[in-house]
A and B are shown apart, each in its own frame.
Chain A
Amino acid sequence: MTTTTHTHTAALALGDDALVLSHRLGEWMGHAPVLEEEVALGNIALDLLGQARILLSMAGDEDELAYLREERAFRNLQLVEQPGGDFAHTIARQLYFSTYQHLLYARLASVEGPFAGLAAKAVKEVAYHRDHAEQWTLRLGDGTEESHERMQRACTALWRFTGEMFAPLDGLDLDLSELESAWLESVRSVLERAGLAVPEGPRTGAWRAGAGRQGLHTESFGRMLAEMQHLHRSHPGASW
């Protein structure tokens, strides 16, 4: 493959991560536990949507890619498509993903390449997402008995989706094992400070054919896509 094709592959994968997580966070609108937190989640969703637009435009037409692809053509991580669940699940998903995204963008911003410009801008947004998730993890883990139990359940449930983030991706010329050890160290430290047990067990599924990056998605993703795409598909070519 040429360098351009590799760049497309990586842009599509990272763009899909941002798009899908943005939609998942958007599902909280009107439902968040408190108004202030709803605005915070909405802000994070909008940051991610902005990143998705830039990344998908690098890979093709952003609207076509977002609204007209079938499930198997999406290249996002399975982690970001996991349903919001209770608030603890949303926070655990945020903690795992934004720690990864922050480390990734910091590295992409520091080297010359097609993603340096986007990463330099997005790394500041993502630093805030990471801080938001860490702050909540500390408070839920070290809060009431119920919040602790829910947060522990969420961290454990999502643990098996965290290995995929560090699988090699065409177009990303990075030392992923270094990224992974930085991620593990950071997440461990937050969980320990929150009084939560670092989950044990495998960090990937047993399915050898791959996961989200290969277009293999989990059950709820199809329903999410149907909701995300139905308006565009019902009114093809419609515009404001």
Chain B
Amino acid sequence: MTNTDWPLWEVFVRSRRGLSHTHAGSLHAPDAEFALRNARDLYTRRGEGVSIWVVPSSAVTASSPDEKDPFFEPSADKPYRHPTFYEIPEGVKHL
């Protein structure tokens, strides 16, 4: 039996309240309802999550590896964009 007819879904899991959904993986399912249920079985059975999103993989627009340089290279040599030029005041523990 083949499952090539079943579309691919991307799964996002929120691990607890206050955090954002993060990508957990992908799976095959015949429709969104089952994608949600399969995601529950595959990605949250050890208490990993409190909320799940499933998105058809075909709906994801991804950056192309060919565009890697124009997309990401320019940010590599601009250290002033990082907040590393400040003296950290004494007594501040959680910055």
Contacts and interface: CB of A to CB of B under 8 A. Distances in A.
Contact of A40 (B1, B30, B31, B41): B41
Nearest to B35: A36
Given A39-B42, A43-B45, A34 B37 contact: no
A134 to B, nearest CB: 11
Interface in A131-181: 131-132, 135, 139
A128 B41 CA distance: 11
Interface residues of A, number: 13
Given A135-B33, A139-B30, A39 B41 contact: yes
Contacts, number: 32
B28 interface: yes
Interface string B16-40: 0000000000011111011001101
B6 interface: yes
B3 interface: yes
Contacts of B40: 128
Contacts of B6: 34
A136 B64 CA distance: 38
Interface of B: 1, 3, 6, 27-31, 33-34, 37-38, 40-42, 45
